[in-house]
């Protein structure tokens, strides 16, 4: 998870800010001043992931089990809990504890071309990168990493955003705005999190948004090697303004169209995308735009556009749950989950869940088509005719 890390300075001095990686499962809190993620050796931490039941798990589920436990060859215990997604079968939420290690060695990529080539392929191709658009937790009201003011400032430089005259950008204008992400003045990055008002030349959104900021840092070539991305935020955004700054927060329903265009044009090797909606308990809007489109339909439209824009996507996951949501299955980590409910609540992703199956089916259809194409090519090679007859 690329983020700004706070490190304690001298006595009576403000903390020092560094843009670095940290593990998403062990995030630095807003007011922590100890060094992260350097001093994390031998720290046990719980990780979690969701998956379709294996054949063995499916048999246990059919037999009536609602909790699955696996012991690996190394002795690690993996617990599994069933998440019943109404209208989209069952998934297993796994939890296990591992020993966390420090993130180190990234600087070695600058040592020589050979190590850079090998290391970059592993760093960007084998890791998942998480971007939390919610910003820091607030005790005074809703907040997000970017505000509506920043989204509206110099928005011609924001990919896919409507132009100042209200028109939809052309393909050439979109390409130019994406190029601008990688051409931002690096000398001005110090103002991105200290005093954003001092940076008047480029889009404030590009500097402040966690995803576009990361692309600025790593460059277009490295961004093209990214394969797995997790986007965390709020889709049905909250009511009101943040009390401290009076700013209007920005939700995923505003960000996804922008991210979709960037992923399509820049991250050509992406094959796994996870979206997670986390509102932190704030009151929610039922309708997200002036058209009166309800939440379910708006989310479905956003996911549909994303799926069609990324034809080579291999896995779409909606929801990154550590615990089974209330009413959707038994999980000791969820209060009240032992109470049997006759009717399960609707999944928060609603009709958008169908796009998970759509992506899976598209992958299978493409694999079948490629297999048939390969067989036809092999058949032609076997029976090709030259001047002397059949070879």
Give the model's confidence band at 131: pLDDT under 50 very low, under 70 low, under 90 confident, else very high.
very high
pLDDT of residue 291: 53
DSSP 351: G
Mean pLDDT over 243-250 rounds to 68
pTM: predicted TM-score of the whole model, two decimal places: 0.81
pLDDT of residue 14: 77
Which of the two residues, 75 and 87, has the higher pLDDT score? 75
Give yes or no for residue 13 having a pLDDT over 80: no
Give the model's confidence band at 191: pLDDT under 50 very low, under 70 low, under 90 confident, else very high.
very low
* Distance separating alpha carbons of residues 184 and 207, to the nearest angstrom: 9
Give the model's confidence band at 48: pLDDT under 50 very low, under 70 low, under 90 confident, else very high.
very high
Sign of CA dihedral 125, 128, 133, 136: negative
Mean pLDDT of the residues in the chain: 79
Mean pLDDT over 16-28 rounds to 82
Put residue 329 in one of left, alpha, beta given phi > 0 → left and psi -120 to 50 → alpha: left
pLDDT of residue 192: 45
Mean pLDDT over 302-329 rounds to 90
* Distance separating alpha carbons of residues 163 and 254, to the nearest angstrom: 15
pLDDT of residue 389: 53
Q: What is the DSSP string of 72-134?
A: -TT--EEEEEEEE-TTS-EEEEEEEEEEE-----GGGGGT-HHHHHHHHHHHHHSSEEEEETT
E strands in 311-370: 315-318
Q: Which of 6-10, 76-80, 89-93 has the lowest mean pLDDT?
A: 6-10
- What are the boundaries of each domain within the chain? 1-41, 109-313
* Distance separating alpha carbons of residues 34 and 326, to the nearest angstrom: 35
Give the model's confidence band at 151: pLDDT under 50 very low, under 70 low, under 90 confident, else very high.
confident
Give yes or no for residue 134 having a pLDDT over 70: yes
Contacts of 42 (CB under 8 A, 6+ apart): 99, 100
């Amino acid at each position: 998870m690329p983020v700004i890390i706070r490190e304690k300075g001298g006595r009576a001095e403000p903390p020092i800010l560094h843009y670095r990686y940290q593990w998403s499962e062990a995030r630095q809190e807003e007011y922590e001043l100890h060094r992260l993620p350097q001093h994390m050796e031998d720290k046990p931490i719980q990780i979690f992931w969701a998956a379709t039941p294996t054949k063995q798990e499916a048999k246990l589920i059919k037999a009536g089990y609602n909790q699955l436990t696996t012991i690996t060859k190394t002795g690690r215990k993996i617990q599994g809990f069933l998440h019943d997604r109404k209208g989209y079968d069952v998934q297993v939420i796994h939890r296990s504890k591992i020993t966390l290690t420090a993130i180190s060695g990234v600087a070695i990529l600058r040592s020589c071309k050979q190590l850079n080539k090998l290391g970059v392929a592993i760093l960007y191709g084998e890791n998942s990168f998480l971007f939390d658009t919610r910003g820091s937790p607030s005790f005074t009201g809703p907040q997000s990493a970017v505000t509506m003011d920043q989204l509206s400032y110099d928005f011609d430089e924001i990919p896919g955003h409507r132009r100042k005259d209200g028109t939809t950008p052309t393909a050439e204008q979109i390409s130019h705005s994406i190029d601008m992400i990688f051409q931002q003045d690096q000398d001005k990055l110090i103002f991105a999190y200290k005093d954003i008002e001092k940076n008047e030349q480029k889009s404030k959104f590009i500097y402040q948004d966690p995803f576009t900021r990361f692309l600025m840092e790593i460059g277009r070539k490295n961004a093209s090697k990214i394969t797995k991305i997790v986007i965390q935020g709020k889709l049905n955004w909250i009511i009101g303004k943040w009390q401290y700054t009076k700013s209007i927060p920005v939700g995923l329903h505003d960000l996804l169209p922008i991210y979709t265009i960037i992923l399509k044009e820049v991250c050509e090797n992406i094959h796994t995308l996870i979206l997670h909606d986390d509102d932190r308990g704030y009151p929610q809007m039922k309708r997200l735009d002036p058209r009166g489109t309800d939440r379910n339909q708006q989310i479905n439209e956003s996911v549909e556009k994303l799926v069609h824009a990324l034809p080579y996507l291999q896995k779409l996951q909606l929801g990154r749950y550590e615990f089974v949501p209330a009413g959707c299955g038994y999980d000791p980590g969820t209060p009240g989950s032992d109470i049997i409910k006759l009717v399960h609540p609707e999944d928060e992703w609603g009709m958008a869940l169908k796009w998970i199956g759509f992506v899976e089916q598209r992958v299978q259809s493409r694999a079948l088509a490629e297999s048939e194409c390969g067989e036809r090519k092999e058949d032609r090679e076997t029976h090709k005719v030259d001047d002397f007859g059949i070879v």
